[in-house]
A = this chain, B = another copy of it.
Amino acid sequence: MKGTDVKAIRTITRDGIDGLEMRDLADPTPGDREVVIRIKAASINYRDLLLVNGHYPGCFEGEMTPLTDGAGEVVAVGAAVSRITVGDRVSVNNITRWVAGPLTPTVMVNQPGIFSDGMLASMIAVEEDGVVILPGSLSFEEAAALPCAGVTAWSALTDGGRPLRAGQTVLLLGTGGVSLLGLQFAKAMGLRVIATTSSHDKANRLKAFGADHVVNYKDTPDWQEAVRALTDGKGVERVLEVGGPGTIERSIASLAYGGHVSLIGFVGGMEGALNPLSLLTSGVSLQPVGIGSRTQFEELLQLIDANGVRPAIDRVFAFNEFKDAFAHVASGSHFGKVVIAVD
């Protein structure tokens, strides 16, 4: 790999988007069980903004390459690599050593883009354990949209609680990445979807993506009652709870007896609380979602490939427009993932 110029965006300071700069780096050399990927596209999640702004607890604090989500082509493999070959089109699971089974502390150690250099570079080395092979039907831009929000949505739909059956109903909150990708996956799985949003315009876009019903939570502050009414009083079987403490009581009140809360995030703020007695009377179970294993990412790729899902992308920025891309995510005006084409 001599002679290659590796370009990477680096967190020179942690005081916001202007602390990011493009730098030349030495060529990566793969460890025994690592592969080197020429990155073609990367995508931004909200937590990447926190990291760039110095507000992400526990992350690496020195100069680093940000972004956990990317896709590209393998250009070199280490001596003990067995599954991956030079030329493979790939993406990378956020928690690289989490191959299968439930999340455990021992696999949390390696998370590129959080504890070590991430995807916003023309070339990176990552552990083979986390590398997934892309189906031919998926572009690099689409694949880069999946590792964090997509895998989270998939885990939240397929893991925890009683198994969700095709034909049952899932409640999705808002139009963030997890909810929007979750809508696409849920429809491919044969689920009914009720979505919430705050504007008539977004409601129409959600319906265009397949939502069976949309509830405007500004018009209907007690949206849990609307959700129950849309299910003949029964309630939904599952909610992908991205709102956090501020919405969880309403989410639980939206559920059918024995339903399940997939606990994901807290875009609605960190204040609020839940009296567990509301679970006792509703039979509702809760389980947090820690993104997902490589196996879950591979399952998701099967779903997408078999059902022709096109992951919702809001906009693709050029590599040298990386600051605009971060600013676009910060603006909150996007509907779908924000991607940077890397070259």
| Residues of chain A at the chain B interface (Cβ within 8 Å) | 31-34, 78-80, 82-83, 99-107, 109-110, 127, 158, 160, 162-163, 165-169, 185, 188-192, 212, 241, 244-245, 248, 257-258, 263, 265-266, 270, 272-277, 279-280, 282-288, 290, 293, 295, 299-307
Contact = CB atoms under 8 A, between A and B. Distances in A.
A157 to B, nearest CB: 9
A307 to B, nearest CB: 5
- 4 closest Cβ contacts across the A-B interface? A100-B101, A167-B303, A167-B302, A273-B273
Given A245-B275, A275-B274, A276-B248, A285 B287 contact: yes
Nearest to A258: B102
A244 B287 contact: no
Contact of A275 (B33, B212, B272): B272
Contact of A189 (B103, B127, B190, B245): B190
B276 A283 contact: no
Contacts of A31: 32-33, 79-80
Contacts of A167: 188, 299-307
B245 A103 contact: no
Contact of A99 (B100, B110, B192): B100
A265 B281 CA distance: 11
B189 A302 contact: no
20 contacts: A32-B34, A33-B80, A80-B127, A104-B258, A165-B303, A166-B190, A167-B307, A168-B299, A169-B306, A190-B303, A245-B276, A245-B277, A263-B276, A265-B280, A272-B275, A279-B286, A285-B285, A285-B286, A286-B286, A286-B287
Contacts of A33: 31-33, 80
A343 to B, nearest CB: 30
In the complex, which of the residues A110, A165, A274, A307 has the most CB atoms of chain B within 10 Å of its own CB atom?
Answer: A165
A166 B279 CA distance: 28
B277 A274 contact: no
A85 to B, nearest CB: 13
A31 B158 CA distance: 37
